[in-house]
Chain A
């Protein structure tokens, strides 16, 4: 039984992190209708930036949690203004391919500059060690990462449900045309929302830095899991991304515990089942934009 609790806690810890990582993907899809393949690369950039800030400017983890998302917001704004914007009117496939190409460029650029074996990063002081209750234990950092992710998800949730900005973003997500016809310049909101989504990817990268290998390729596999998360949750649904994040974390942990070889396949089996039963995902709207 204590083993089961252990796996459940580990699944939840991983799930919180998945939720945060998928959040930006869901926000960008929701408002722009763009399937941002470069989300994984932006997550990687977030981690790499943390490592570089530490190594070259001695900027630590806590400062990086603030600075990196700001830098990534700027990167997202540039990306949207210079590239993504021009393809928004076309079939979504164009932006998917654009961001796919961009991913290759970003990954290769990081390889050129920082090599392939990865960059060092330590667990910040005060977050090392484990918490043990009975026979169950979790690393302090995993608990921190999960709680931090949940706080960010809730904050983003509140921003979306309780503020006028959130109201406009929800309306634009649901129907950009109708929202324009109600006097709202949806285009004005597109750039900051895209930047925000990219900033969230960067934030997830900072959070990953102490616990995962910081390499140019670190996002390439991760993005696949994130796609599974947003598909399960319902493309563009914030709540869906969060719930599916935890679901995937749990399924993965149980998979590893009871069928280790199939741990990752289980996630995609779950995805296939969800898509068969509810094509628009757990929390997706039935109509597909």
Chain B
């Protein structure tokens, strides 16, 4: 009872101070006069998993990537930079949609974030997209794969930068099927992401002239895949597709390698990050094919950026790190072009923009659904690593148009 009263008091106090702050901001003179920035500065919010399964994939090192973008932006524009004062704020959403929702609200309202970046986990990303729409502030998704962000749940302020489940399916399922892996069995974790991946893969395999014999749902999370693998081996498939992620994926691959299917059946992985290969060891994944949105050792340009990243973090970047850099950089460029951080103006500059940078090749911010389309890569895990983190052979560049297909008709930007 008492604590409720205290809590109520604090809530009232907080609301009151918030209102005061808002009035102060609106009524006060815009210091500097010439500045077109709200609150005199640009605030970039990084909202991702800072402690859980996606920590290594993106996590705190994405802040480093964003700071690299800020450094580059300042170096490029010097005194002419519209955004002179740029701040990065971070928060841990612990992979939970409700926490992501409240953290996003806090970032937009209290920390005055002009944009939120990253947000792995599809449910969390959808929650933040809704916040962005309501607050009329930007959100560029990187970590989450759901196509809903550029489909039924798309909105004017939300962009999808790096990859989506459709891209993974077209890249991996389409390419492998066309190359002769016609008979597939799929094992997928029984939650939203896994179900989505299973659907996308089945669709692309069928479209490419293949068949899916079995789609087997496994409980999430799961440790023991031996029997799932036996079951997936029934019916003599050419390819077994694992749609798992994180620890489940590692369990699956370790146990696949110990099964009699190893060497007889091709293993394709729906979603894989370089950090997964790093943690399991390259020999365990050897020969596994998957779609990568970006690879640090693909060419000299990537390598140069990766070296810079390594100096700061002592590790190699995942595609999510590079994508965070790219998103932050292009956002700042758009602010520069617009001469303001006003969200509508920045969105206007981003829409339709064609980009070639360290992350995006043949990139385009598609106006119709805000998917940022770009070339992706069919990667095959090397059998041994020449140096730490050098794990992938890029077998094929999948052109942006092929990877992303047509704009999602389910999206209407109103």
Contacts and interface: CB of A to CB of B under 8 A. Distances in A.
Contact of A117 (B217, B221, B224, B275): B275
B30 interface: no
A131 to B, nearest CB: 9
Interface string A88-132: 000000000000000000001001000111111111000010101
A56 B153 CA distance: 48
Interface in B198-252: 216-219, 221-224, 226-228, 230-231, 234, 246-251
Nearest to B218: A260
Please tell me the size bucket of the interface on B. Answer: 35 or more
A142 B258 contact: yes
A119 B276 CA distance: 9
B231 A256 contact: yes
Contact of B228 (A122, A132, A141, A260): A260
B339 interface: no
Interface string B274-301: 0110111101100000000000000000
Contacts of A117: 53, 55-57, 246, 275-276, 278-279
B255 interface: yes
A80 B218 CA distance: 38
B56 A115 contact: yes
A214 to B, nearest CB: 8
Nearest to A129: B258
B9 interface: no
B258 to A, nearest CB: 4
A221 B225 CA distance: 14
B216 A130 contact: no
Given A111-B55, A141-B258, A222-B223, A213 B284 contact: no
Overall SS of chain A's interface: helix
Contacts of B281: 120-122
Contact of A139 (B190, B248, B259): B259
Contact of B247 (A13, A210, A213): A213
Interface stretch (A3-11, A23-31, A171-179, A189-197): A3-11
B15 interface: no
Contacts of B278: 117, 120
B254 interface: yes
B284 A260 contact: no
A119 B275 CA distance: 10
Nearest to A14: B224
A275 B53 CA distance: 34
B412 interface: no
Contacts of B7: none
Contacts of B283: 122
Contact of B250 (A130, A213, A256): A213
Contacts of A211: 254-255, 258
Nearest to A211: B254
B413 to A, nearest CB: 36
B231 A260 contact: yes
A218 B227 contact: no
Contact of A13 (B219, B226, B257): B226
Contacts of B218: 256, 260, 263
Please tell me the size bucket of the interface on A. Answer: 35 or more
A253 B227 contact: yes
B258 A257 contact: no
Query: Which residue, of B234, B249, B251, has the highest number of chain A Cβ atoms within 10 A?
Result: B251
B189 to A, nearest CB: 11
Interface in B2-59: 51-57
A142 B225 CA distance: 12
B260 interface: yes
Contacts of A122: 281, 283-284
Query: Which residue, of A13, A123, A211, has the highest number of chain B Cβ atoms within 10 A?
Result: A211
B219 A263 contact: yes
Contacts of B223: 212, 218, 221-222, 225
A252 B224 contact: yes
Contacts of B53: 116-117, 215, 217
Contact of B227 (A121, A213, A252): A252
Nearest to B251: A213
Given A117-B56, A122-B284, A260-B216, A10 B227 contact: yes
B392 to A, nearest CB: 16
B258 A123 contact: yes
A10 B247 contact: no
Contact of A132 (B216, B258, B260): B260
Nearest to B258: A139
Contact of A116 (B52, B230, B258): B52
Contacts of A123: 257-258
Nearest to A128: B258
Interface in A174-227: 210-215, 217-218, 221-222, 225
Contacts of A222: 223
A253 B224 CA distance: 9
Nearest to A220: B221
A261 interface: yes
Query: Which residue, of A117, A132, A140, A218, has the highest number of chain B Cβ atoms within 10 A?
Result: A117
Given A117-B55, A122-B284, 7 more contacts: A115-B55, A116-B56, A118-B280, A215-B246, A217-B247, A221-B222, A222-B223
The 4 tightest CB contacts between A and B, nearest first, are A213-B250, A120-B281, A139-B258, A118-B279
17 contacts: A14-B226, A117-B278, A117-B279, A118-B279, A120-B278, A120-B280, A130-B259, A137-B259, A142-B258, A211-B254, A213-B248, A252-B224, A253-B227, A256-B228, A256-B231, A260-B231, A261-B219
Interface of A: 3, 6-7, 10-11, 13-14, 108, 111, 115-123, 128, 130, 132, 137, 139-142, 210-215, 217-218, 221-222, 225, 252-253, 256-257, 260-261, 263-265
